[in-house]
Amino acid sequence: MTSGNKTPVSDQGSEGHSVFAYQLLKALRNNTKPYISTHEIYSRIAPIIANNSEQTPMCRPIRNTNDQGGQFIFVVSTDTTLPVENKVPSVSTIPQSTVDNDAIFWQSIKDSNDPSLFEAYINEFPNGPFVSIAKIKIRQSSTPKKSAEKNRSEVISMLKHMEVPPKRGRYIWAPTLRAATSGKKIVLFEALGKSDMVVAFARTPEDDSALYEIVIGGWGNTQSVIRKGRQTPHGGHVRVNRNQNPNAMISSYWDTYWVTVENGHIKVGKSEVHKNNAFLEWTDPNPIQNPQWIGFSSWDRKFSLRNIRILSE
């Protein structure tokens, strides 16, 4: 678990701590369980940090490190007594050496809706007493819900990889990259490059005027803008520069970006959740009707894309 990605994070917070450290310490102080997993702590503090700062914490395995599954479990100190009203035994009555690792792991994840946690339990304790329950939890999480929930995102198409060479503003339009015909249009993708990543939402690929153009890290990775029409106006209807927000530029390592368009309201951000860490926003007074084609372009530098997901909500 980290306070953010490979971008600057704030040292400002409360009580002499950074915003991340303060929320982490607060979650540990306010915990009323005898043990708590890293993922559970993350699920508590990540939304608070993301909603009150320009950073989003991360919690996932480090790739290519021979990870074997499992996670850190925080156990209440043996000289700490939990509140009586929570009706859980004080950990001070349990000798630390006799704490059952299987039960600790299970107690920390049993109320979760994340199937990866139950898969991790099965991998860690293949003969554990809760394996059958874990398998049921995994099956339940993969079963579609019959009652549709409002504002619930659904992947409607996906492209695993795309290389965008220097295009001088000409777009690559993939047939699979088409948003829903109605409602909010959302694209979420990972990218890495040096500068000039351009994303467009167009009514048709042939009409240069009926599109929204989002430039991320243009002008040598110094500015990001939103435009209506291809390169019109050149400086954009709204812009942010590197000095105002370094996070609003393209990264030279894999990072996740998102763009949403709804009734002429365009938002752009950098986060694994398409509502967090927005850095550009503009509302078109005369919205383009149904800009469902999604394309990518560049100027004089190439960039790479992966896991391009078109969502509906």
Output the pLDDT for position 212: 94
Entry field: residues in the chain: 313
**Is residue 82 a contact partner of residue 93, using CB atoms and an 8 Å limit?**
no
pLDDT at 264 over 90: yes
101 band by pLDDT with thresholds 50, 70 and 90: low
pLDDT (tens digit per residue) in 199-257? 999 998 888 789 999 999 999 999 999 999 888 888 889 999 999 998 899 988 888 99
Q: Which residue has the higher pLDDT, 87 or 178?
A: 178
pLDDT of residue 96: 40
For residue 215, what is the enclosing H or E element?
Answer: strand 211-217
**Per-domain residue ranges of the chain:** 19-142, 154-312
pLDDT score at 296: 94
Query: Model confidence at 151, in pLDDT bands (50, 70, 90)?
Result: very low
Q: Could you give the C-alpha distances from 29 to 60, 80, 81, 189, 296, in angstroms and in order?
A: 23, 11, 12, 36, 47
Range with top average pLDDT, 70-74, 108-112, 269-273: 269-273
Q: What is the pLDDT of residue 69?
A: 65
Q: pTM here?
A: 0.53
Q: What is the pLDDT of residue 178?
A: 84
Q: Looking at residues 2-26, what average pLDDT do you find?
A: 80
CATH-assigned architecture of domain 154-312: Sandwich (2.60)
Structure tokens at 51: 């909603």
Confidence of residue 97 (pLDDT cuts 50, 70, 90): very low
| Confidence band for 19, pLDDT divided at 50, 70 and 90 | confident
In this predicted structure, the answer to whether residue 158 has a pLDDT above a threshold of 90 is no
Q: Please, are residues 137 and 269 in contact by the beta-carbon 8 Å criterion?
A: no
Q: What is the DSSP letter of 149?
A: P
